[in-house]
Amino acid sequence: MSSSSPLAAIDQARAVADAVLYEGYLLYPYRASATKNRMRWQFGVLMPAAFPEEHSSSVTQLLVEPGLHTTLHLRVRFLQVQARTVEVDGAAVPSVTIDDSDWTSWDEAVEQEVDAVLRFADLLAGDNVVPFTVAGGVTSERLSEDACVVRTRWPLVGQLRLRADALPGPYGASRLTVELVNTSEWSGTDRDEALRHALIAAHTVMSVSPGKFVSMVDPPEWAKPAVAECHNRHTWPVLIGDDDTVLSSPIILYDYPAIAEESAGELFDGLEIDEILSLRTMALTDEEKREARATDPRAAEIVDRVDAMPPELLDRLHGTIRYLRSVEQQEDKPWWDPGADASVDPDTDSVIVSGVRVARGSRVRLRPGKKRADAQDMFLAGREATVQAVLHDVDGDLHLAVTLDGDLDPAYGRFRYFACEEVEPL
């Protein structure tokens, strides 16, 4: 089940972690002049404490089932802003063209990683602090006799604050708390200036050896009360790879996230569809593409990759089916016809809910789940209803068709539909 080593497990998580690291780094149309690219860095930004409008720390809490002599390996990853300034005769300018090459003043970013290894026994013994620093620096690149590019990074200072608390009960689990704090010294009110002293897109990859983490999305029954008491602030932990590795991300993900194999490369916008962004980038004018290439080397890579994309690769982005299951067609009846399966009868079928058999005519109280798409269902919480049918969908899941007390007569056939876990038998 476990990876060959904790560091190997962390390395295997890199593809997904990189997508988190660069989410929103630069948005279509990938030009510095675009309005959306003048207000950057939205995810996982840990500002210096002196900038009160935004937070300076994140907290991850999750459950761990450690083994004997367990070791926790952590890798904190973030971007450090690097100001790229074009200068002509010693004065900063927005852009310059040298030998048909465009150079633009722009804030780039440098990837940074901080590794830490701690014994779980030390975490259980009390608070642990791991300080870290990231150096600043200035480099200069001469473009011509009177023009140059100056790249400047400002030093960053931070801390990892960790502890573990053993949970009562027979399961041997512990609650792990990891706080990442930006302790850099800075004062001012300008956000762009504060960003140069911030940890950008900060996230943590953690691995335990031996041992495993408990899913925060779908915990086992015994762990649900303890999971509900975990406090996560500005970050969210999900299992990645095996159960011994977790990615704590500033973007909420489900367990075991993965990069689609059809994706040809980063587009910096996981909320969009690769095909749409690729087609939009293809449609940019030559002048727009030239400006994008001058904005950032990563933008240039996107434009060049899309321009060279063969038709068969673009076809792969159009869509794919991940999972199929066979459906046996009976006689000449279509698979979607309820009468095609004599083993299913909404009027007589039943289901066990909280140890009680629920069928047509059963009385229930509605407890709509928080993940329901219809926001109006929140107004039905606590209402009593009568089950009119137990239904099977094409995926094999069960649903209850109900009528509310005081609503339309059931004869109208107007029902509301809820999952079995969204009702409470009366």
- Domain residues of the chain, as ranges? 6-269, 341-425
Tell me how far apart the alpha carbons of residues 230 and 249 are, in angstroms, rounded to a whole number.
Answer: 16
Report pLDDT for 69: 92
First to last CA, the chain: 43
Q: Determine the pLDDT at residue 373.
A: 55
Cα separation values, 249 from 74, 76, 77, 143, Å: 13, 11, 10, 39
Q: Low-confidence residues of the chain, pLDDT below 70?
A: 1-9, 271-272, 321-344, 370-375
Q: Is 312 helix (H, G, I), strand (E, B) or coil?
A: helix
pLDDT of residue 1: 41
Tokens 């689609």 belong to 260
pLDDT at 2: 45
Q: What is the pLDDT of residue 141?
A: 94
Per-residue pLDDT at 211: 93
- Beta-strand ranges (E) seen in 7-155 are 57-88, 91-93, 95-98, 101-104, 106-119, 128-134, 137-142, 147-153
Q: Write phi, then psi, for 320 (nearest 5 degrees).
A: -150, 160
pTM of the predicted model over 0.95? no
Question: Which pLDDT score, from 0 to 100, does residue 397 have?
Answer: 81
pLDDT, residue 3, reads 45
Secondary structure letter of residue 233 according to DSSP: B
Give the H/E segment covering residue 311: helix 311-316
- Pairing type for strands 91-93 and 147-153 reads unpaired
- Position 372 scores a pLDDT of 64
Neighbours of 55 (CB within 10 A): 16
136-177 pLDDT, tens digit per residue, is 999 999 999 999 999 999 999 999 999 999 999 888 999 999
Domain boundaries 341-425, CATH class = mainly beta
Distance CA 100, CA 319 (A): 40
Q: Which helix (H) or strand (E) holds 125?
A: helix 120-125
112 CB burial (10 A radius; 0-12, 13-18, 19+): buried
- Three-class secondary structure of residue 178 per DSSP: strand
At residue 327, the pLDDT reads 54
Q: pLDDT tens across 350-398, in order?
A: 899 988 999 999 999 998 876 665 667 778 888 999 999 998 877 778 8
Q: Number of C-alpha atoms within 13 angstroms, CB side, residue 83?
A: 18
